[in-house]
Amino acid sequence: MPFEIVRNDITKMKVDAIVNAANTALQMGGGVCGAIFKAAGQTDLQAACDALRPIQTGQAVITDGFHLPARHIIHTAGPVYKDGKQGEEELLRSCYLNSLTLAQQNKCESVAFPLISGGIYGYPKDQALAVATAAIREFLQKSDLTVYLVVFDKGAFTLSEKLLGAVSAYIDERYVDEHLSKDRRRKKLHEAEEEAREDAGLPCLERIEPGTVPQEDTAKRRQKPSDATLRVGRELAGPPGSVFSQSSRIDDLIGR
């Protein structure tokens, strides 16, 4: 499942990157930030952060994971909650989207977030969860990252269960739609191949299902190409000195 809310210690998560709820000075703080610094190795991590500071609220930067199971730490500075009318929601949303974008740029396949700003920064946990879930869902519409939202206290986890059902349904529908699309594309490709062979005067290929063995006469036909096949092959190959590209799409002829 690409998105899961779990109750765990984020410093123990075996993912490509964990996200640190940082301050703009990228200094070791309390709460989740302090726990990550201690687990990663305070001296090494602080030196890496010093080279990147300061950052703006909503911005994200990345460092090595040092002694953590995670390869990377993404640091993002969440907003301090005042009254909800100072742009806090948009800034919090930016924390998630910028962190996910940075993870993808660094070829991460899995990311674990804490509940950003849900601790000493005072963002109401139910609202912080709603913003986090909406931002992650938005990003997953165009990405295959596996994302964990890690909540430590029981109260936040209980709140998250109300949101998790909707997220699971969304992921399942997207998974089904994606695989149906692949089947349709495969069928269209097969039809196009048959049409091309028919236009070239070649016999249609028998479709061999996975796990089956072709009949003897079919195997013989495949081993020895017909004169028509050889003629079409020579026509496609073009003049001497032409080569096929290594494109993943239909190959184009490229002159040397």
In this structure, what token pair is assigned to residue 55? 């950052």
For residue 39, give its domain range: 3-175
Question: Above 50 in pLDDT, residue 125?
Answer: yes
Least confident interval from 46-60, 181-195, 222-236: 222-236
pLDDT in tens, 150-163: 886 655 555 556 65
Distance between CA 178 and CA 149 in Å, rounded?
A: 24
Average pLDDT value for residue range 10-35:
96
Q: Is 84 within the bounds of a domain?
A: yes
Instruction: Give the CATH number, domain containing residue 34.
Output: 3.40.220.10
Tally of domains within the chain:
1
Contact 28, 57 (CB under 8 A): no
Q: Is 180 within the bounds of a domain?
A: no
Comparing CA positions, the residue from 41, 33, 39 lying closest to residue 12 is 39
Q: Is 45 within the bounds of a domain?
A: yes
Q: Is 149 within the bounds of a domain?
A: yes
Contact 79, 23 (CB under 8 A): no
Question: Above 80 in pLDDT, residue 92?
Answer: yes
